[in-house]
Amino acid sequence: MNYKELVNLDRKDLEKKANDLRREIFTLRMRKSAEEIEDPMMIKKLKKDLARTLTALNMKVTQ
């Protein structure tokens, strides 16, 4: 998801998306330690999505 799409979401949706991304990153990291995951770059992509989401959320809070 790109930043322009995130800016259009409201605060509750951004918080929910951030929590979902955190859970998914955690799950992938646990799976990575136990077995080989199919797309190792997925963790990096999810971290970037989380950063974008948190940036959009911080912009909503400060406005």
Q: Where are the domains of the chain?
A: 3-62
> What is the radius of gyration, based on Cα positions, of the chain?
13
Q: pTM value?
A: 0.90
Residue 2 CA to residue 53 CA, distance in Å, equals 9
Residue 52 CA to residue 2 CA, distance in Å, equals 8
Residues 6+ apart with CB under 8 A from 56: 3, 6, 7, 9, 14
CA atoms within 13 A on the CB side of 53: 19
pLDDT tens column, 15-37: 999 999 999 999 999 999 998 88
28 alpha-carbon distance from chain centroid: 12
pLDDT tens column, 4-17: 999 999 999 999 99
